[in-house]
Structure 1
Amino acid sequence: MVGEKIKAIRMEKGITAKELAEKADVTPGYISQIERNLISPSLAVLMRIAEAAEVPLVSLFSEDEKTEVVVTTKEKRTKIRFPDTNIEYQFLTPYSRSKEVCTQMEIIYYKISPKSWGSPCIQSHEAAESTYVLKGSLEYHIRDEVYAVNEGDCIYVPPNTPHQLYNPGEEDVEAIGVIAPAFY
């Protein structure tokens, strides 16, 4: 569970719950509740915790570190649905809990529910992002522009570009996203 991973990472790094809480801008009691799996933190809080612990976000969900050639079968994909998003992620590439060992890119298969935003807030990250739409139509809201990415289309978004995804359709959007370098 996420709470156990956060505690394990915190302990590995020698960080107290109070120090992690201060860096992540939450209370020590909130960290304690997360670590004991009593609450499900939002994506925004998980991102702050990962940043405070200096690990990729996906490491909060990882099983084992991979530093060699790896085949990820459909059944073994890491699947994540954050409580405050309408996206289901399936990680197609391996990842690591260490920024020094993490892959150069992250490839993610994801779905966004109909008539919904991928996340409640605008995202911006230091990685370049590219998305290929497998099914449906996806809107990328970037600054004051809306880019329609239809089935079979691809979009590239440079690093540090604020953006938000929206599914305007009546069915799930299915897409493959590539993020390089990996930041999850």
Structure 2
Amino acid sequence: MPTNAKHTILEKMTVPGRIRALRRQKGMTVEALASSIGIHKGHLSRIERGEKTPSLATLEAIAKALGAGMAQLFGEKTNEEDVVVVRRSERRKTGDRKTYQLEALLTGTHKTPLAAYVVSPGPEFLEHEVPNHQGKEFLFVLQGKIEVQVADRLLLLTTGDCATYDAALHHKLRRKGSALAQVLVVLVTV
């Protein structure tokens, strides 16, 4: 590395984390990757957790098995799917601002466990079946005032407030008052 800045960047990146992320993107189990490169799955698991430092030969074998280069393991190169851009013109909305509107900023996939929406809740809680989903949900009030009911708790949030909770808990929201309310909702599945 020619400069100290590059050393600093590399120190902040984790090669074990990149290995795990690339393996998951390929839909491979620890067992499958370990078998393909001829090492024990426990050893690969310890490499992914940063508990073992792999040899250069092992790193090269991992990169090859993942269809990646060494630069990618070190975070110096991205794949097309590493960066997702959704243009404003590509976003889709459903519903209406008077009752309940949902605008998809980023929809999650099996490879990307993150989804983000802008919700404009109506003045009433929607009474509907709520499917159980796993993970964490994060709310950030962009404007207005809302009430969030999470299980037996009722929370009042205003512009700039945020809350997070287990997404498996029954939850719903509504705006308070007549002014438009908008909420950034981020879902992370685990």
TM-score, normalising length from structure 1?
0.52
- 1:64-107 CA-partner distances (Å, limit 9, x unpaired): xx94522111111122229xx932111112444xx3x3x22101
C-alpha separation in 1, matches of 2:120 and 2:143: 9
After superposing the two structures, state which structure 1 stretch, 66-75 or 143-152, moved more.
66-75
Partner of 2:84: 70
Instruction: Give the Å deviation of 1:144.
Output: 2.6
Instruction: Decide which of 111, 118, 121 is 2:128's aligned counterpart.
Output: 121
- 1:122–1:164 Cα contact (<8 Å) kept: no
- CA 1:69/1:154 → structure 2, altered by over 3 Å: closer, same or farther? same
What is the identity, as a one-letter code, of the residue corresponding to 1:89? L
Query: For residue 121 of structure 1, what is the amino acid of its counterpart?
Result: H
* Count of matched residue pairs: 109
Structure 1, unmatched stretches of 5+, are: 1-65
More helix by share: 2
CA RMSD, 1 decimal? 2.5
Cα distance in 2 for residues equivalent to 1:161 and 1:68 = 31
1:166-181 matches, cutoff 5 A: 166-181=174-189
Q: Is the 8 A contact 1:130 1:178 kept in 2?
A: yes
Q: Write the letter of the residue equivalent to 1:77.
A: R
Amino acid at match of 2:151: R
* Distance in 2 (alpha carbons) for counterparts of 1:170 and 1:142: 22
Aligned to 2:101: 88
Deviations 1:34-74 (A, max 9, x none): xxxxxxxxxxxxxxxxxxxxxxxxxxxxxxxx945221111
Consecutive unaligned residues in structure 2, runs of 5 or more: 1-79
- Looking at structure 1, the residues matched to 113 and 177 of structure 2 have their Cα atoms a distance apart, in angstroms, of 33
Report if the CA contact (8 A) 1:92-1:108 is conserved: yes
Q: Taking every aligned residue pair, what percent have the same amino acid on both sides?
A: 19
In the alignment, the residues of structure 1 paired with residue 187 and residue 154 of structure 2 have an alpha-carbon distance, to the nearest angstrom, of 20
Report deviation, 1:125. 2.2
- Structure 2 counterpart of 1:76, one-letter code: E
User: Of 155, 160, 168, which residue of structure 2 is paired with 1:152?
Assistant: 160
- Residues 133-148 of structure 1 mapped to structure 2, 5 A cutoff: 133-148=141-156
- Partners in 1 of 2:139 and 2:170 — Cα distance? 15
- Give the corresponding residue for 2:118: 109
Once residues 176 and 159 of structure 1 are traced to their aligned partners in structure 2, the CA distance between those partners, rounded to angstroms, is 15
